Amino acid sequence: MHVYCFSDMPLVAIFFTIVLTLICYWWYTAWRIQSKLSWIPQPPGLPLIGNSLQFGKSTDLLGILLRWTKQYGGLYQIQIAMRRLIIITDYNFLEFLLPSTKILSKGQEYQFFKRWLGAGLLTATGDRWKKNRKIITPAFHFSILEGFIPTFEANDKILIDELEKEVDKDSVDIYPYITMCTLDIICETAMGVSINAQKNTESEYVVAVKELCRIIIERSFSPIQRLDVLYSFTRNYRIEEKSLKILHNYTNSVIKTRKEELKNKTNEDIEEDQLEVRKKRAFLDLLLNATIDGSPLPDNIIREEVDTFMFEGHDTTASAISSTLFCLANHAEIQGKAVEEQRAIFGNDRSRNATSRDFQDMKYLELVIKEALRLYPPVPFYSRETKEDIAYKGSQILKKKKEPNLVLLIISPLLSVMDMSYQKGLHYLYSLMVSTGIQTSSRIPKKFDPTRFENANKTAPYSYIPFSAGPRNCIGQKFAIMEMKSVISNVLRHYELLATCPRHELMLAAETVLKSANGVRIKIRKRDWNYTFVLRHSSSMIAILLAVLVVYVVFKVSKNTELSRKLHWIPAIPRWPIIGNILEFGDNTETLYDMGRLVKNHGKLIKVYVFMQPNILTADYEFLEFLLGTQKVLNKSHDYNFLHKWLSTGLLTSDGFKWKKRRKMVTPAFHFSILEKFVDCFDSNGRILAKKLEDEVDNESVEIYHYINLYALDVICVGGINNEMKLFLAFPRIAEAAMGVPINAQKHEDSDYVRNVKQMGRIVMDRAFSATKSNNFLYMLSRDYYLERKLVRELHDVTTAVINTRRKELATKRADGEQHNDLGRKKNLAFLDILLQSTIDGEPLSSEDIREEVDTFMFEGHDTTSSAISFTIFLLANHPEVQKQAFEEQKEIFGDDADRSCTVSDLNQMRYLELVIKEGLRIYPPVPMYGRSTNEDIEYKGNVIPKGINISVYAYGILRDPEYFPEPDKFDPSRFMHTDGTKPYSYIPFSAGPRNCIGQKFAVLEVKSCLSKLLRKFEILPTIPEHKPILVMELILKSKNGIKVKLTKRKW
């Protein structure tokens, strides 16, 4: 039986009629707006709701808008439900809009602030805004701002103490600490009370502020929460009610208390206030003393302005400070300049309070702050709304009609100008994330470069608008800059800021302010605040030092005179007093040739003075046969001491008993049965290299060394195991063969490791030829000393991190009883794993022992191989007949399958390619000079080489000696077909004797694999005009102007 309630039918019909009518009206309105804006392109969207579903999380917003800006150009529209957002990137329009006094009202999004901030300065419009702006402006006069400095400094010191617990940790998210600090500062400056946010991070007030900021941004992008009726049923509404009650009660309580205090003040107190020129008066006090039309401000207006100041003054500043610290942590050279400025201002007393004059002197820090604000503007969006029709460039104005609100989102103010008119009721919403990031100058916009503001283009003031511009600009920008200077100055004086390992990448989220969804992570260390030695000592101390210096010089002269006397049998080059032959050598591009000139003019065994110290320089075969073959001269020369901070006493730099023990322990790691397991690693990384080089095909030239260096980094890190472990972008793919850890250097080319090694190479060479830097005491006074400490820390950090991780992995696998190749068969182990499982006298190696050997292997195994491969490629490019012969050999080995992986058997068959490599190493030896040092008196042909003499082996010279290599400058691989082996010490690119290069077989296999891959993929041609390398002797042989060739696709 069915019961029909006919009485209900009219209600249902009415309901559906209303809904249908609303949808029709909605659709018609959208269609009418679209028809008027049809000349503006729009990304595809869905009916009625438009592009709403294309926006996900706040972290997606900026990326989506940037992509659309690139796709649709300087002007396009998007639809969010009933709202149209017109996206504009036009400087001329900004220049028209921002200074206009007719477009001062904020957009509809600011309505979500009203329950919290009321009609405060941020959200007010019309006469209310104008009156309040006029009242509040004097509060930001410089004389008032000076009174806030003690508040800044006091809270900064709490921040410094709080950060103490994060020192030397792997990373710290700096943003929460900075937020609590700025909240303390803004509370004390706004209301004259402290909420101790830094000590009590979970206080009601702090949590309430956080919640309201979150809710406002969620309402802005939620079709449901945008509507007040629907929003009132959500959980966020109830949280907002609770948070507002806490915030408003607190502010009202402070206002009431402060009012009573001011009311009870005596005339004497008032006069004292006047004498103090309102020094350190809270913002609240200024409002309580202000009047409108002769009447004091009502409590509700005071509360609204205080709350507004609280909101605008803490989160925006926290964002700006955090991003600035992040930029400084990731740009050490800029941080160094900023610190030097702080030293110049504060001298030895880094803990004293800053003054107004100090802030004025922080000119470079101000440039740093400006640049950080350009890259990471704290307020990525803000808006305007027209209250009347506005003509722009004389175009026809649209008829006045009541339309749904439209939003104009300005992504960049520097692109093309659009001629148009804008109608009453439109909103203008700016995104500074890109408007400050795109520049018309030649400078790279994404580069952090504070110097760009030294000569800022003042003719385009609306290109830099992190504080907005025009009548409605940020009233507190001077306050913000002063606060930022105070906080950043204190942090820089107490802590060294470092990039995290792996490097932290910000996930930018456009909320009420610009934030990073994954935090703002850096690493901090205690800052050494050592100032110039001389400034700390009295004149009497300087006199003592001079006396000590004189005694030291006399001692050195006496000692070196005795050494010279014993070396009388070796011819000496004419020298200057004290400085010796140092003027014979130019910069590092001339050193090799200077040595060649000396050997040619004075003989193959000569005495050279570096200042007062006699040294032996040799390219003499008989002497080399004695020197390299003897067991008595195994110690490295004193110049290798400059590597000790980095490599400690690993296999390259150690001497005596330690070297013998380590050599014996490491030698099995280079047995051929183990090396053949690395062939797959060579091949896989060679494929990546070939793929990367495809982008350079048919270009006029390619700088090959850059690509080869990253390839060699990848190879030296692979051991065929543990491929699941990644260090992301920190030190891109540094040590797979050494560590068993892929770090993808070729895919992430901005390698800190490469840069740091290069810097270390420069420092070591500078020290070797510098009168002051070669002395440890004087070197400590140089800038390089502090730079070296930073470089060494960063180089050690990555090695230590990998060692600790790998040690734990191996321990876990043993505990779990896993039977993997990396634990079962030594021939599959990475170099690191072999060290982790090795013992000396029954004891496992310490982490320090392992680190110094891995660092040594990584240094010796990537840079030297890069040099060898790159110069051999250059020689092949410039000798097509040799390249053709090498290519024919590859065709014989690989047949029709040019792309197949290379095997050990293939590498063994590459006999002609091996000759090519040998000849390449002869002409361009990766280590053109190396040294030995005598640790006892040594007899040679009846003469004495005294203890403590440095002997420089001029390998570059003997490898080009026509006595052993006829036509030495000619590239002729066939010369090695008929060598009889009677002169083994004439060919020494890997040194020779007991202390020869332990990894030479590994290196030759790697070079073969790489060259084979490239010869099969590309024809290598010389550049036009012909490229001539400018050889430079650093730790290895390099070319100052790069190694350039041309690549074309190989026809197989």
Q: What is the 3-state secondary structure (H, E, C) of 712-763?
A: HHHHHECCCCCCCCCCCCCCCCCEHHHHCECCCCCCCCCCHHHHHHHHHHHH
Rounded to an integer, the average pLDDT of 333-362 is 91
pLDDT exceeds 70 at position 696 = yes
70 CB neighbour count, 10 Å cutoff: 9
pLDDT exceeds 90 at position 1028 = yes
Q: Per-residue confidence at 315, pLDDT binned at 50, 70, 90?
A: confident
* Residues 1033 and 969 reside in one and the same domain: yes
* Residues 498 and 540 reside in one and the same domain: no
* Residues 107 and 252 reside in one and the same domain: yes
DSSP 825: -
Contact 530, 184 (CB under 8 A): no
Q: Is residue 22 part of a domain?
A: no
**Which of 502, 526, 550 is a domain's end point?**
526
Give every CB contact of residue 134 below 8 A, 6+ residues apart in sequence: none
The enclosing domain of 1039 has a CATH number of 1.10.630.10
DSSP 1026: P
Give every CB contact of residue 474 below 8 A, 6+ residues apart in sequence: 312, 467, 468, 480
Q: For the ranges 193-197, 418-422, 782-786, 1034-1038, which has the lowest average pLDDT?
A: 418-422
Coil/strand/helix, residue 430: strand
The closest alpha carbon to 669, from 829, 533, 553, belongs to: 829
Alpha-carbon distance 1007 to 1010, whole Å?
5
pLDDT exceeds 90 at position 945 = yes
Distance of CA 275 to the CA centre of its chain: 50
Alpha-carbon distance 472 to 97, whole Å?
11
Q: Please report, for residues 713, 997, 999, the alpha-carbon distance to residue 860 in angstroms, rounded to integers and kept in the order given.
A: 11, 9, 9
Rounded to an integer, the average pLDDT of 395-405 is 39
Instruction: Please tell me which residue, 401 or 979, carries the higher pLDDT value.
Output: 979
Distance of CA 971 to the CA centre of its chain: 42
Q: Is residue 683 part of a domain?
A: yes
Contact 719, 742 (CB under 8 A): no
Q: Residue 578: left (phi > 0), alpha (psi -120 to 50), or beta?
A: left
Q: Is residue 597 part of a domain?
A: yes
Q: Please report, for residues 106, 201, 248, 736, the alpha-carbon distance to residue 112 in angstroms, rounded to integers and kept in the order given.
A: 12, 26, 16, 54
Q: For the ranges 30-39, 508-517, 710-719, which has the lowest average pLDDT?
A: 30-39
Residue range 527-552, pLDDT digits in tens: 988 644 444 445 666 788 788 888 88
Domain ranges, residue 887: 638-929+953-1049
Q: Residue 700: left (phi > 0), alpha (psi -120 to 50), or beta?
A: alpha
| Percent of the chain scoring above 70 in pLDDT | 83
Rounded to an integer, the average pLDDT of 892-918 is 94
Angle between helices 363-375 and 477-494 (to 10 degrees): 110
Angle between helices 704-716 and 679-693 (to 10 degrees): 150
* Residues 767 and 909 reside in one and the same domain: yes
**Which of 450, 465, 480 is a domain's end point?**
465
The closest alpha carbon to 409, from 630, 103, 107, 60, belongs to: 107
Q: Is residue 517 part of a domain?
A: yes
**Cis bond before residue 1025 (omega within 30° of 0):** yes
The closest alpha carbon to 873, from 1034, 1027, 664, belongs to: 1027
Q: Which residue has the tokens 């079962």?
A: 824
Rounded to an integer, the average pLDDT of 573-586 is 86
**Cis bond before residue 138 (omega within 30° of 0):** no
pLDDT computed for residue 719 by the predictor: 42
Question: How does DSSP assign 1033-1047, residue by residue?
Answer: ESSSEEETT--EEEE
Q: Can you say whether the dihedral through the CA atoms of 41, 47, 49, 54 is positive or negative? A: negative
* Residues 216 and 91 reside in one and the same domain: no
Q: Is residue 946 part of a domain?
A: no
* Residues 741 and 774 reside in one and the same domain: yes
Instruction: Please tell me which residue, 581 or 425, carries the higher pLDDT value.
Output: 581
Angle between helices 235-263 and 299-329 (to 10 degrees): 110
pLDDT computed for residue 9 by the predictor: 59
Residue range 818-842, pLDDT digits in tens: 544 444 444 445 678 888 888 877 7
Instruction: Please tell me which residue, 924 or 227, carries the higher pLDDT value.
Output: 924
Q: Which residue has the tokens 């290798």?
A: 640
SS (H, E, C) 626-665: HHHHCCCCCEECHHHHHHHHHHCCCCCCCCHHHHHHHHHH
Rounded to an integer, the average pLDDT of 737-751 is 59
pLDDT computed for residue 1043 by the predictor: 97
End-to-end CA distance of the chain: 86
Question: How high is the mean pLDDT of the chain?
Answer: 81
Strands (E), 507-583: 508-510, 514-516, 521-526
pLDDT computed for residue 298 by the predictor: 86
Instruction: Please tell me which residue, 880 or 114, carries the higher pLDDT value.
Output: 880
pLDDT exceeds 60 at position 737 = no
Rounded to an integer, the average pLDDT of 380-409 is 54
Q: Per-residue confidence at 16, pLDDT binned at 50, 70, 90?
A: confident
pLDDT exceeds 50 at position 417 = no
pLDDT exceeds 50 at position 405 = no
Q: Is residue 9 part of a domain?
A: no
Residue range 419-461, pLDDT digits in tens: 333 333 333 444 444 444 433 333 456 789 999 888 765 657 8
Residue range 150-173, pLDDT digits in tens: 999 999 999 999 999 999 898 999
Q: For the ranges 60-69, 533-542, 792-801, 945-954, which has the lowest average pLDDT?
A: 533-542
Distance of CA 413 to the CA centre of its chain: 28
Overall pTM > 0.85: no
pLDDT computed for residue 740 by the predictor: 55
Q: Which residue has the tokens 């919403």?
A: 429
The closest alpha carbon to 621, from 934, 152, 179, 955, belongs to: 955
Residue range 962-1011, pLDDT digits in tens: 999 999 999 999 999 987 777 899 999 999 999 999 999 999 999 999 99
Q: For the ranges 26-35, 68-77, 721-730, 783-792, which has the lowest average pLDDT?
A: 721-730
Count the alpha carbons within 13 Å of 707 in the hemisphere toward its beta carbon: 24
pLDDT computed for residue 8 by the predictor: 54
Contact 1010, 682 (CB under 8 A): yes
Rounded to an integer, the average pLDDT of 54-78 is 74
Q: Maximum distance among all alpha carbons in the chain?
A: 129
Q: Is residue 414 part of a domain?
A: yes
Instruction: Please tell me which residue, 891 or 400, carries the higher pLDDT value.
Output: 891
Q: Is residue 864 part of a domain?
A: yes
pLDDT computed for residue 157 by the predictor: 95
Q: For the ranges 106-110, 426-430, 548-552, 862-866, which has the lowest average pLDDT?
A: 426-430
Q: Per-residue confidence at 25, pLDDT binned at 50, 70, 90?
A: confident
* Residues 419 and 486 reside in one and the same domain: no
Identify the top-confidence range among 112-126, 392-406, 579-593, 961-975.
961-975
* Residues 434 and 510 reside in one and the same domain: no
pLDDT exceeds 60 at position 728 = no
886 CB neighbour count, 10 Å cutoff: 22
Count the alpha carbons within 13 Å of 718 in the hemisphere toward its beta carbon: 25
Rounded to an integer, the average pLDDT of 901-913 is 95
* Residues 815 and 877 reside in one and the same domain: yes
pLDDT exceeds 80 at position 930 = yes
pLDDT computed for residue 358 by the predictor: 93
DSSP 696: G
Rounded to an integer, the average pLDDT of 64-92 is 74
Task: Name residue 302's amino acid.
Answer: I
Alpha-carbon distance 896 to 142, whole Å?
79
Total count of domains within the chain: 4
Q: For the ranges 91-95, 851-855, 967-971, which has the lowest average pLDDT?
A: 91-95
* Residues 682 and 723 reside in one and the same domain: yes
Contact 738, 716 (CB under 8 A): yes
Task: Name residue 811's amino acid.
Answer: A
Range list of H helices, 780-830: 783-816, 821-824
* Residues 402 and 498 reside in one and the same domain: no
Coil/strand/helix, residue 819: coil
Q: Please report, for residues 571, 574, 618, 620, 952, the alpha-carbon distance to residue 606 in angstroms, rounded to integers and kept in the order given.
A: 5, 11, 6, 10, 10
Rounded to an integer, the average pLDDT of 99-111 is 77
Residue range 273-286, pLDDT digits in tens: 544 444 456 788 88
Instruction: Please tell me which residue, 290 or 403, carries the higher pLDDT value.
Output: 290
pLDDT computed for residue 478 by the predictor: 92
Angle between helices 847-877 and 704-716 (to 10 degrees): 150
The closest alpha carbon to 797, from 518, 501, 1043, belongs to: 501
**What are φ and ψ of residue 406, in 5° steps?**
-110, 150
| Percent of the chain scoring above 90 in pLDDT | 37
Instruction: Please tell me which residue, 875 or 636, carries the higher pLDDT value.
Output: 875
pLDDT computed for residue 722 by the predictor: 34
Contact 200, 187 (CB under 8 A): no
* Residues 721 and 758 reside in one and the same domain: yes
**Which of 495, 526, 557 is a domain's end point?**
526
Burial class (CB in 10 A: 0-12, 13-18, 19+), 12: exposed
Contact 567, 949 (CB under 8 A): yes
Residue range 598-653, pLDDT digits in tens: 999 999 999 999 888 899 999 999 999 999 999 999 999 888 888 899 999 988 88
pLDDT exceeds 50 at position 86 = yes
- Copy the structure tokens of residue 631: 């067991």
Rounded to an integer, the average pLDDT of 673-698 is 90
